[in-house]
Amino acid sequence: MAECVWAPQYVTEEVGGLPLCAGIATATDLDRDEQNRQRRADARVIAKRTIREHDLPMKVVGIDFVDRRADIDQLVIVYFSAPHRVDFRELVRDLARALRARIELRQVGARDEARLQGGIGPCGRDLCCATFLKDFEPVSVRMAKDQDLPLNPLKISGACGRLMCCLKYEHPLYQEFNAKAPALGTAVETPAGDGVVVGHNVPSDTVVVRLAASGRRCACSRADVCSPRQQYEASGTTTPDAAPVVPEASAVPEQPEPTEERRVRKPRRRRRLHHDDEGETAQ
């Protein structure tokens, strides 16, 4: 059973893995859904009582009934969370006897537990994992540091006790901003005058600058204080309009020129050899 919460509309992207709508629910379907809801509630109570009797560190998260398979008459799936692995072999036998069905226990993690139970996040909306989020991407404390968030577990943790999944959403935007915006303490030129960068405001794409003349702070657009030319100058290299650097004449080593003595000796040596050749011919 499902409830339609959004009117049909055309989408440009193809989304796979969605369930198919079998049709409008009838009165029989509504009665069956109400009975299954009551059976799940009763099974949850029995499972909690049996776990308490066995004194196991387990917490029941959800109950599912599967009664439309050809190989079994009825299957009860119990989702639970535990801090470590639990030996529940005796628990399965007692639950099967109490519920008169085949029992299957599945251990889930903290994030899967929040997905099954649902709830309201710190933003005041339904949990992302319980509404549209399909896969859990890894979230690190580095993402919170890049977004200048306080490293307080109570501030950056979700209902599951882990880091909030929404830290992953805006992290690429912060990385792009930090790569192009001037760093804190950088001297910049603004339309209001020269100043020093003292803060960043990534959502609004602005930079907080403390003016050197008056000492007041103002928010300037990143494009005003971080033009391509200013970025090039801040990198410590020459400007694009600067003339190419030509090495000084003193820096180039001069090669010694041949002296006049060598130029004079060569023709004398040639003349001497020429005379010797003539003498040998005359002999």
pTM listed for this prediction: 0.58
* Integer Cα distance of 112 and 160 in angstroms: 8
Q: pLDDT tens digits for the chain (283 residues)?
A: 888 888 888 877 777 777 788 889 999 999 988 988 898 899 999 999 999 998 889 999 988 887 655 555 678 899 998 888 888 888 999 998 888 888 889 988 888 888 888 888 888 888 988 888 888 888 889 899 888 888 888 888 888 888 998 888 888 888 888 888 888 888 888 887 888 888 888 888 888 888 888 888 888 887 777 655 455 555 554 444 444 444 444 444 555 555 554 554 555 555 554 444 444 444 4
Q: Are 225 and 238 in contact (CB under 8 A)?
A: no
91, 93, 99, 103: CA torsion to nearest 10: 80
Q: Are 98 and 44 in contact (CB under 8 A)?
A: no
At 36, which amino acid appears?
Answer: N
- DSSP secondary structure string, 231-270? HHHHTTS--TTSPPP---TTTSPPPPPPPHHHHHHHHHHH
Q: Are 48 and 78 in contact (CB under 8 A)?
A: no
* Integer Cα distance of 283 and 281 in angstroms: 5
